[in-house]
Amino acid sequence: MAEPYYIPSGDEVAVFEQCHAHQLAVMLKGPTGCGKTRFVEYMAWRLGRPLITVSCHDDLSAGDLVGRYLIHHDDTVWQDGPLASAARHGAICYLDEVVEARQDTVVVLHSLTDYRRTLPLEKTGELIHAAAGFQLVVSYNPGYQRMLKDMKPSTRQRFVALDFDFPPAEREIAILVHEGGVDAGTAHALVTLTHKLRGLQDRGLAEVPSTRLLVATAKLIAGGIPLRRACYAGLVAPLSDDGSLVGAMRDLVDLSF
Ligand code: ADP
């Protein structure tokens, strides 16, 4: 597998490596689209571990993570879920937006995140002892109040936490040139505009434009879509349905290009 493109923002690579060496679970905190998933992909590559990713949602059951019996012809066969599979094979298991999952689902993580490093499969009676390279990584967006409430202290305390945020301007420009395929001048203008749009958070914009949206917008521009049109579609429209906020954002686009 090719090296995933990732520009570090501080010492997160070294801290993560220590966590991996000491078999500590890691929690990545930060707004959506700021590079958490890319970081995990990069670390899995760097550490030479397989990566199993689960996007969590409020319907995710313990069975979805651990596994279930499936009917196969006239027989029932056990099928490991992503968590059981990761524990068995020493993979990094990344639970994206973990607080979206139901509390009773999150509880199955507990025995894997302490000295036991085990996962009981209640339905088969098996107790999986996690292989040496197994590591649990979760992400969440502290911006959603509901989620802070949902994450129990007894769960939080099982993780080493790394804070993430949008990259500073020079790094975000470099990302846009590399990932979005635009020239440095356009990347600079897009990042300047984005900083202004992020300033609208005080005026009620719930979600500010992420690096992910910026990359998407840059790709549209690199593909030949005119600048303003690309910004309306890539940066403005996804963020709000509120007429006055959308108007304010479009004005900022028009002033920039
Ligand atoms: P998250 O998991 O935080 O929602 P992602 O990891 O999917 O966000 O990041 C969204 C996109 O932003 C990535 O696909 C990548 O193009 C870009 N990106 C963000 N941060 C970085 C970084 N530090 N280095 C390289 N690319 C980055």
Interface TM-score (ipTM) > 0.90: yes
d(CA 143, ligand 1 centre) in Å: 17
Burial class (CB in 10 A: 0-12, 13-18, 19+), 226: exposed
Q: Tell me the three state secondary structure of residue 225.
A: coil
Which two structure tokens, joined as six digits, stand for 156? 């939080």
pLDDT for 206: 84
Average pLDDT over residues 218-240: 97
pLDDT in tens, 141-151: 887 655 455 67
CA 226 to chain centre: 30
Ligand 1 atom closest to Cα of residue 41: 6
Residue with the smallest CA separation from ligand 1 atom 25 is 6
Query: Rounded to whole angstroms, what are the CA distances from 238 to 202, 217, 220, 230?
Result: 18, 11, 14, 12
What is the average pLDDT across 158-165? Answer: 96
- Residue nearest atom 4 in ligand 1 by C-alpha distance: 33
pLDDT at res. 30: 94
CA–centroid distance, residue 56 to ligand 1 (Å):
18
Q: Cα of 212 to ligand 1 centre, how many Å?
A: 6
What is the dihedral sign for C-alpha 195, 197, 201, 207? negative
The string of pLDDT tens digits covering residues 129-145 is: 999 999 999 998 887 65
Q: What angle do CA 93, 97, 98 make, to 5 degrees?
A: 65
155 contacts 196 by C-beta, under 8 angstroms:
no
Q: Output b/e per residue, 159-186; b: 16+ Cβ within 10 A.
A: beebebebbeeebbbbbbbebbebeeeb
Q: Output the pLDDT for position 48.
A: 98
Residue 103: what pLDDT?
Answer: 81
What is the number of the ligand 1 atom nearest to the C-alpha of 179?
16
Q: What is the pLDDT of residue 144?
A: 61
Atom of ligand 1 minimally distant from the CA of 8: 23
Q: Residues 111-127: what's their mean pLDDT?
A: 95
pTM of the model: 0.95
pLDDT in tens, 61-105: 999 999 999 998 889 999 999 999 999 999 999 999 998 888 888
What mean pLDDT is reported for the chain?
94
Q: If you measure from the C-alpha of residue 113 to the centroid of ligand 1, how many angstroms do you get, rounded to a whole number?
A: 26
